[in-house]
């Protein structure tokens, strides 16, 4: 019996979301939001908020989003993408997570496999000129001057979020991480760079990963089937990760600069990628992170 399925149904949490307090809060916000928030806005209003947060011509940005929270917006996803690209200009770069949506046994097709990251990323995936990185676990799409730098070696790394990943490289080019409709204290996938960086250095984070690399097959742009090898995370047992809303809130409130704004119901957070990676890595060395599971009993951290 899949008890999680019925709990999610009772709490209004989407099937694609994890069973967590964050997911419940997003569900609650989706249900009561339309009853309270009536103010209409357009994509230009969203982009103006992004500019106030630091986006400008030449910026490199990554967007996490929940398009369901844009219910008071008069524009469509492609409208938002176009206006953002107009601001960034040819020297800027826009990227979004594009994790593949696949059934068991399917092979990741870089060109054709849709994403499970949401409606906006799926529209971005098929937007003219957008490139998709090779990575069957955590693919990223990008367009702009830094696209090749961000994407080209993702599948050649040891893990999905190590120094060769788009998430880590975002921190090397002064990138900004925008979260739209995901809550004030949700930072995003870039936080997983921490356990990739500390794999092999801190036992706690080393034990989060499988001991051997796994093979991942994919169909490349040339139509040829190829493969790469990456460390993956156990999905069951004591090392399955479980994050905490309250720990995320504590880290964001006390250690990170969050340029937070709200337009009607839409919550927009902006973080500096280099700060997220450097600050959270140093905190993790001392045992302070976003995880409830695995437990830290028996592990040694810096004082």
Three-state DSSP at 267 gives strand
CB-based contact 182:267 (threshold 8 Å): yes
Higher-pLDDT residue of 21 and 147 is 147
CB-based contact 189:254 (threshold 8 Å): no
Three-state DSSP at 38 gives coil
Residue 16, pLDDT score: 62
Tokens of 174: 């002064």
List, for residues 151-203, the tens digit of each pLDDT value. 999 999 999 999 999 999 999 999 999 999 999 999 999 999 999 999 999 99
CB-based contact 85:143 (threshold 8 Å): yes
pLDDT averaged over every residue in the chain? 92
Which candidate, 100, 130, 70, 51, places its Cα nearest to that of 266?
70
Share above pLDDT 90 across residues of the chain, in percent, rounded to a whole number: 80
List, for residues 51-102, the tens digit of each pLDDT value. 999 999 999 999 999 999 999 999 999 999 999 999 999 999 999 999 999 9
CB-based contact 196:162 (threshold 8 Å): yes
Of 130-134, 138-142, 244-248, the one with minimum mean pLDDT is 244-248
Residue 18, pLDDT score: 66
């Amino acid at each position: 019996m899949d008890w999680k399925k019925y709990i999610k149904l009772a709490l209004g949490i989407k099937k694609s979301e994890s069973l967590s307090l964050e997911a419940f809060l997003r569900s609650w916000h989706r249900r009561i939001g339309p009853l309270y928030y009536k103010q209409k806005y357009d994509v230009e209003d969203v982009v103006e908020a992004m500019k106030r947060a630091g986006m400008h011509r030449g910026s490199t940005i990554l967007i996490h989003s929940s398009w369901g929270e844009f219910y008071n917006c008069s524009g469509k996803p492609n409208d938002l993408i176009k206006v953002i690209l107009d601001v960034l200009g040819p020297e800027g770069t826009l990227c979004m997570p594009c994790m593949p949506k696949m059934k068991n046994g399917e092979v990741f097709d870089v060109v054709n496999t849709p994403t499970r990251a949401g409606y906006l990323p799926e529209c971005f995936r098929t937007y003219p000129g957008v490139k998709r990185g090779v990575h069957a676990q955590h693919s990223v799409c990008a367009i702009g001057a830094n696209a090749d730098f961000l994407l080209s070696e993702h599948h050649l790394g040891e893990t999905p979020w190590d120094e060769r990943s788009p998430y880590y490289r975002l921190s090397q080019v002064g990138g900004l991480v925008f979260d739209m409709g995901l809550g004030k204290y949700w930072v995003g996938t870039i936080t997983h760079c921490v356990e990739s960086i500390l794999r092999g250095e801190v036992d706690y984070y080393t034990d989060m990963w499988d001991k051997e690399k796994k093979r991942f097959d994919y169909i490349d742009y040339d139509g040829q089937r190829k493969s790469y090898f990456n460390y993956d995370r156990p999905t069951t047992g004591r090392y399955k990760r479980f994050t905490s809303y309250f720990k995320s809130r504590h880290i964001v409130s006390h250690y990170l600069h969050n340029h937070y704004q709200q337009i009607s119901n839409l919550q927009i957070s902006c973080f500096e990628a280099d700060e997220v990676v450097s600050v959270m890595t140093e905190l993790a060395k001392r045992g302070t992170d976003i995880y409830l599971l695995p437990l830290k009993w028996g592990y040694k951290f810096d004082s």
